[in-house]
Amino acid sequence: MSKGITSKNEDYSQWYNDIVIKADLAEHSAVKGCMVIKPYGYSIWEKMQAVLDQKFKDTGHSNAYFPLFIPKSFFSKEASHVEGFATECAVVTHYRLKNDGNGNIIVDETAKLEEELIVRPTSETIIWNTYKGWIQSYRDLPILVNQWANVVRWEMRTRLFLRTTEFLWQEGHTAHATAEEAIAETRQMLDVYADFAENWMGVPVVKGVKTPNERFAGALDTYCIEALMQDGKALQAGTSHFLGQNFAKAFDVKFTSKEGKLEHVWASSWGVSTRLMGALIMAHSDDAGLVLPPKLAPIQVVIVPIYKTDEELNNISAFVDTLIAKLKRLGISVKYDDRDTQRPGFKFAEYELKGVPVRLAIGARDMENGTVELARRDTREKQTVNQEGLEIYIPQLLEDIQQNIYKKAFDFRAEHITPANSYEEFKELLDGKAGFISAHWDGTPETEQKIKEETKATIRCVPLDNQQEDGVCIYSGKPSTQRVLFARAY
RNA sequence: CGGGGUGUAGCGUAGCCCGGUAUCGCGCCACAUUUGGGAUGUGGAGGUCGUAGGUUCGAAUCCUGCCACCCCGACCA
């Protein structure tokens, strides 16, 4: 039916790639591991940014911008941080090129930097180096700053949106007078992320905390939201870290408290990236293409006229113009596609591929009957509805689609959280049903590592709302007090 | 970094084994007929065959080096 999209059941990875390319979201660039985000894909990212940015501001944060380059020496100041990122850093060593006399441009070896610069993989170090100059007293706290930026992590293998060498993200970096306040901030931002994932993206997530193995390099605790994709693999959709005083100590950031004591500052950092695009695509789309939740769709309603003569088109357009005016007043984004260079069938397929939630087709027949043909992308149902009252019906329908998309993903996930009570059962589930597997774990990094090596499944998180129950670890047989969520992940 | 694969028109490809200036489909352009689910016909444009060198009268084809990308693994907060 749809041209050129591999079926989801046939080859999930290829299906994903096909959608990214055919829906015009992104493409591979001439630079290894880096992608070009195309205008349509970028417009979705912009919608995400706008919503998140407002949420950050509503919770008291301000945006700022820090350098792309980080002096190498900054990195070595926090031991576990450098260890975590050392193997994937791009390093700037020279600042000038020259002509070698044979028409080739080469690096000018005489222009070697005294200290190499790291292209930021994350900005904790440069930011905490800066915060040192901003903080003297408890009166200077808290600092609640967010940065929208690009970062570079030199991964060996990449996948469009899910893992690219350069990616776009936001990183919040906050400084507080007390541990309690920093933890509250960490948890608050996790809630912001979860709210965004569920109520805007329509992707249900598990809020949880990472095991020490999976923690951010330099954090005391890493909180996360974990989503489930349609192939049963998990995707970490966002993280929020409680950094304790690690970076304050590394960069000597102290403040004088109300009581007159000199103390190290407490910190949090939190981020989501263009990886959310990958989550959005994989969570909802089907073999006909992208399915977008109305709240993030750049085009919410597309209108396609069907006509034979200019007179018919003029007649339709007159009606459409007033409809568009009404819908725009309601804040609905509408596209009227009256190109006469493409036929209606082509347009139908194209907007389905691009995930536009609602499509109206209006022909001469409709104009006589006072109707339109309305198709919704999520269920692919078509119906004929009256022109009158569309401005009431469409907003309701968009809301309905938003709910339906979420519910579908929610039900899928509910069916794919399965308890396992033995290692055999665990492995069978992984290779068969997949999804999250809820199992007892003895709490040791050794067991976690063994399970990872043997099955490629990792502990995605310990859910925050976890019930305590006595049991035995599926791997070691040692006693356990709660189940944790395992899955194979992206 | 290890294993495998691929580079030929905007995209997807045939030709390569067995050397003689490149095939087909989609797309693109023009015109006509069309338009309620990816139109049809006719005509047309578009190529340093990834790159550098070698062998040869002659290289997309054989040989050597290099580059790029993709897949699998290792890796990946």
Contact assessment for residue A256 and residue A137, using Cβ atoms and an 8 Å cutoff: yes
Residues 249-278 of A with CB under 7 A from strand B: none
User: Which residues lie closer than 8 Å to A434 by C-beta, 6 or more apart?
Assistant: A231, A232, A233, A416, A487, A488
Strand partners, A144: A174
Structure tokens at A272: 């989501």
Q: What is the pLDDT of residue A1?
A: 39
How far apart are the C-alpha atoms of A482 and A441, rounded to whole Å?
7
Place domain A296-412 in its CATH homologous superfamily.
Anticodon-binding domain (3.40.50.800)
**What are the DSSP calls for A365-417, one per residue?**
HHHHHTEEEEEETTT--EEEEESTTHHHHHHHHHHHHHHHHHHHHHHHHHHTE
How far apart are the C-alpha atoms of A296 and A211, rounded to whole Å?
32
pLDDT tens track for A369-415: 999 999 999 999 999 999 999 999 999 999 999 999 999 999 999 99
A16 pLDDT higher than 60? yes
Place domain A417-487 in its CATH homologous superfamily.
C-terminal domain of ProRS (3.30.110.30)
Structure tokens at A57: 């501001």
- Stretch A113-123: mean pLDDT: 92
Decide: helix, strand or coil at residue A321: helix
Location of structure tokens 């930021």: A120
Location of structure tokens 């959005």: A280
Task: Give start and end residues of each alpha helix (H) in A33-87.
Answer: 39-58, 72-75, 79-85
Strand partners, A159: A163
Strand nucleotide closest to residue A162 (CA to C1'): B76
Q: Beta carbon of A375 within 7 Å of strand B?
A: yes
Residues 37-96 of A with CB under 7 A from strand B: 80-81, 83-85, 87-88
Contact assessment for residue A30 and residue A16, using Cβ atoms and an 8 Å cutoff: no
Residues 391-420 of A with CB under 7 A from strand B: none
Q: What is the pLDDT of residue A226?
A: 96
pLDDT tens track for A38-75: 899 999 999 999 999 999 999 999 999 999 999 999 98
Structure tokens at A454: 């043997």
Amino acid at A343: R
Structure tokens at A163: 């893992």
Minimum mean pLDDT range among A134-148, A157-171, A295-309: A157-171
How far apart are the C-alpha atoms of A25 and A93, rounded to whole Å?
34
Contact assessment for residue A248 and residue A179, using Cβ atoms and an 8 Å cutoff: no
pLDDT tens track for A268-289: 999 999 999 999 999 999 999 9
Q: What is the pLDDT of residue A148?
A: 97
How far apart are the C-alpha atoms of A455 and A471, rounded to whole Å?
21
Strand nucleotide closest to residue A345 (CA to C1'): B37
* Phi, psi for residue A4 in degrees, rounded to 5: 80, 10
Class of domain A12-66+124-284: alpha beta
Q: Beta carbon of A344 within 7 Å of strand B?
A: yes
* Phi, psi for residue A227 in degrees, rounded to 5: -110, 160
Residues 411-470 of A with CB under 7 A from strand B: 456
A205-209 and A417-419 strand pairing: unpaired
Determine the distance between A29 (CA) and B14 (C1') in angstroms: 27
How far apart are the C-alpha atoms of A311 and A242, rounded to whole Å?
65
Domain boundaries of chain A, sorted by first residue: 12-66+124-284, 296-412, 417-487
Whether a cis peptide bond, with omega within 30° of 0, leads into A142 is: yes
Location of structure tokens 């260079």: A341
Contact assessment for residue A283 and residue A19, using Cβ atoms and an 8 Å cutoff: no
Q: Given its phi and psi angles, is residue A312 left (phi above 0), alpha (psi -120 to 50 degrees) or beta?
A: alpha
Please state the separation of Cα A209 from the chain's center in Å.
18
SS3 content of chain A, % helix, strand, coil (to 5): 35, 30, 30
Q: Establish whether domains A296-412 and A417-487 are of one fold.
A: no
The verdict on ipTM greater than 0.90 is: no
How far apart are the C-alpha atoms of A461 and A68, rounded to whole Å?
31
Location of structure tokens 């347009």: A347
Q: Which positions of chain B lie under 7 Å from any protein Cβ? A: 1, 34-39, 68-77
Q: Beta carbon of A352 within 7 Å of strand B?
A: yes
Determine the distance between A309 (CA) and B27 (C1') in angstroms: 28
Residues 4-23 of A with CB under 7 A from strand B: 4-5, 13, 17
State chain A's mean pLDDT as an integer.
93
More confident residue, A12 or A179: A179
Residues 113-132 of A with CB under 7 A from strand B: none
Determine the distance between A128 (CA) and B73 (C1') in angstroms: 38
Determine the distance between A396 (CA) and B56 (C1') in angstroms: 75
Percent of chain A scoring above 90 in pLDDT: 78
Rg for chain A, CA atoms, rounded: 26
Q: What is the pLDDT of residue A103?
A: 64
